[in-house]
Each structure stands twice: as structure tokens, then as C-alpha cells.
């Protein structure tokens, strides 16, 4: 595996993900540097989303699903029996493929719902966090006058940025994004790609994407997955110009996948 310059914040060690008897992820080991954007690409069904879902332990919420291996967050294994899964998820946020704001909550409440879960109810704090996170998610200007309307009243792209703001509100050092733009139109996608650079200043992002151009545009590092295995991992500039593996080259040049 290629060296990374940054301080390591999250590290997967021989991670396997299973659905009952079916092994979807087969022994992934990779380290992620602090404040970098890491893309995971690969053909459909290659286990990239499943792998991502092992990193905040949401994989195990599916019936019959379990994980083997270790994931170290700042050196501590999140699969350690003594670790509370709730704490893990507070520190590793997630944005999903389909925008999923809570349908019964307002825009404001959607952003701060994670803080409310932690018992923070002070109105001024909530407003402050909401404003700063909506600004980071490049949504503030569009919603500042209607914070009390339902989150679901927004367009798909706005809803996804709302979900990003919601994930940022609890200030997790690591943010996982599972194909966050696949359900969006090109303009909404461009907006989200733009804000990724902003987010990178404070957070480490691991993003699964179907879109190779997207990975090349936004990420510092890229991993290429096929059939639950990681074929190659390295600087995106290397992967997309000068891949070491034949399979990677075939995929990025469109001959496969």
C-alpha cells in the first residue's frame, strides 16, 4: 500500500463484511490521513458501499450482517467490545445515497437533531451550530428565511446538502459519504463537489462514488474495489494517470465495469 503523508486518523485492518453466509467485503486494509478526501470506486456490487458501512458500524444494523477485522479510529478499535456503538457514530458521521431528512422535522430541527440527541437544547447554541453547518454545506443562503419549513419541502440537491449539514452538526472528525450525488442532477452534484473542498479543511472524508470523474476531481486518495477486494489504493493523481494494476487501468479507461 502506498504511503500517506498525513497523520493517520482512521485505519481499516483486514475488514470483512458478511451478510449471513455471503461475504461482501474480503479483507480490506487501508489507512486514511487526517483532513483528506478518500474516494472508493469500483463496479456495482463490488462491496464498496458495504465496506463504507463497516466504518461506522451501521452495516451490523442489517439483519444477519456482521463484520470481522478491526477499524481503528485514532488508534482505538471501534469494534472493541468495550466501545459503545453510539459513541462511534457520533464521531464518524454519514451521508447516504438518497437524501433522507426526517420528514416530520423542520429544516432547522433536521440540522440540530443530532445535538438534541446529545442533550443540547439551548436555543442560541443550536442556532449558532445550525447557521455554521448550513453555511459549510452551502445551503444557508437558500434556506435562512425558511428555517421552520419542513426539510422535505426542499429540492433533492438541497435535501442532500441539508443531510450534510446534519452530519456536520455533531462535528465528527470523519465523514462517510455513500454515493451522495448519485440521486442528484449535475448542477446539484457540482454544488456538493464544491463544498467538499470546504469540508476538507476540518474533516476527513471517505466517499464512495460511481462516478470516476468525480473521484478524480475531488479526492486526494482513491481505492479501487472489485468483488469485495481492494485492487489498488493510492494518490488519486497516480491512480487516474498511472495505475499499477491492469484491472484498475481497464476500469478507469472504461474497458471493464
Total residue length of the chain? 257
Tell me the C-alpha distance between 124 and 177, whole Å. Answer: 29
Smaller CB distance to another protein: residue 1 or 117? 117
The stretches of the chain forming alpha helices (DSSP H) are 48-54, 85-91, 107-117, 123-136, 140-143, 156-169, 186-200, 212-218, 236-241, 246-252
Q: What is the DSSP string of 214-242?
A: HHHHH-SEEEEEETTEEEEEEEHHHHHHS
Q: Are 136 and 117 in contact (CB under 8 A)?
A: no
CB of 37 to another protein, least distance (A): 19
Smaller CB distance to another protein: residue 102 or 227? 102
**What cell was used for 52?**
463504507
Tell me the C-alpha distance between 163 and 159, whole Å. Answer: 6
Smaller CB distance to another protein: residue 42 or 114? 114
CB of 174 to another protein, least distance (A): 12
Q: For another protein, which residue of 66, 76, 117, 245 counts as binding (CB under 8 A)? A: 117
Smaller CB distance to another protein: residue 98 or 255? 98
Smaller CB distance to another protein: residue 150 or 190? 150
Backbone torsion region of residue 36, taken as left when φ is above 0, otherwise alpha when ψ lies between -120 and 50, otherwise beta: beta
Smaller CB distance to another protein: residue 45 or 64? 64
CB of 169 to another protein, least distance (A): 8
251 near another protein, rule: CB under 8 A: no
Residue with cell 453547518: 133
118 near another protein, rule: CB under 8 A: yes
61 near another protein, rule: CB under 8 A: yes
Tell me the C-alpha distance between 219 and 59, whole Å. Answer: 24
80 near another protein, rule: CB under 8 A: no
Residue with cell 478524480: 216
Per-residue contact string for residues 86-115; x = within reach of another protein by CB under 8 A = xxxxx--xx-xxx-xxxxx--------xx-
CB of 110 to another protein, least distance (A): 9
**What cell was used for 124?**
442560541
Of 160-179, binders to another protein (CB under 8 A) are: 163, 166-167, 170
- Footprint of another protein (CB under 8 A): 56, 58, 61, 63, 86-90, 93-94, 96-98, 100-104, 113-114, 117-118, 163, 166-167, 170
Amino acid at each position: 500500500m502506498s504511503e500517506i503523508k498525513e497523520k493517520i486518523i482512521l485505519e481499516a485492518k483486514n475488514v470483512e463484511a458478511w451478510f449471513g453466509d455471503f461475504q461482501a467485503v474480503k479483507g480490506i486494509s487501508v489507512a486514511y490521513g487526517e483532513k483528506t478526501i478518500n474516494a472508493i470506486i469500483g463496479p456495482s456490487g463490488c462491496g464498496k458501499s458495504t465496506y463504507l458501512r463497516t466504518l461506522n458500524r451501521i452495516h451490523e444494523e442489517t439483519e444477519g450482517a456482521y463484520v470481522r477485522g478491526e477499524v481503528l479510529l485514532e488508534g482505538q478499535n471501534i469494534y472493541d467490545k468495550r466501545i459503545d456503538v453510539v459513541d462511534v457514530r457520533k464521531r464518524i458521521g454519514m451521508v447516504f445515497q438518497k437524501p433522507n431528512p426526517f420528514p416530520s422535522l423542520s429544516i432547522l430541527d433536521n440540522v440540530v437533531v443530532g445535538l438534541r440527541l446529545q442533550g443540547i437544547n439551548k436555543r442560541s447554541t443550536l442556532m449558532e451550530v445550525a447557521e455554521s453547518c448550513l453555511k459549510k454545506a452551502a445551503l444557508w443562503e437558500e434556506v435562512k428565511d425558511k428555517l421552520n419549513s419542513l426539510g422535505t419541502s426542499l429540492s433533492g440537491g438541497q435535501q442532500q446538502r441539508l443531510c450534510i449539514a446534519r452530519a456536520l452538526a455533531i462535528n465528527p472528525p470523519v465523514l462517510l459519504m455513500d454515493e451522495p450525488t448519485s440521486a442528484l442532477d449535475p448542477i446539484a452534484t457540482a454544488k456538493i463537489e464544491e463544498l467538499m473542498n470546504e469540508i476538507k479543511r476540518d474533516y476527513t472524508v471517505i466517499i464512495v462514488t460511481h462516478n470516476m470523474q468525480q473521484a478524480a476531481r475531488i479526492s486526494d486518495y482513491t481505492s479501487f474495489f472489485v468483488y469485495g477486494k481492494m485492487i489498488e489504493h493510492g494518490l488519486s493523481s497516480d491512480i487516474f494517470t498511472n495505475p499499477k494494476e491492469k484491472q484498475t487501468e481497464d476500469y478507469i479507461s472504461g474497458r471493464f465495469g
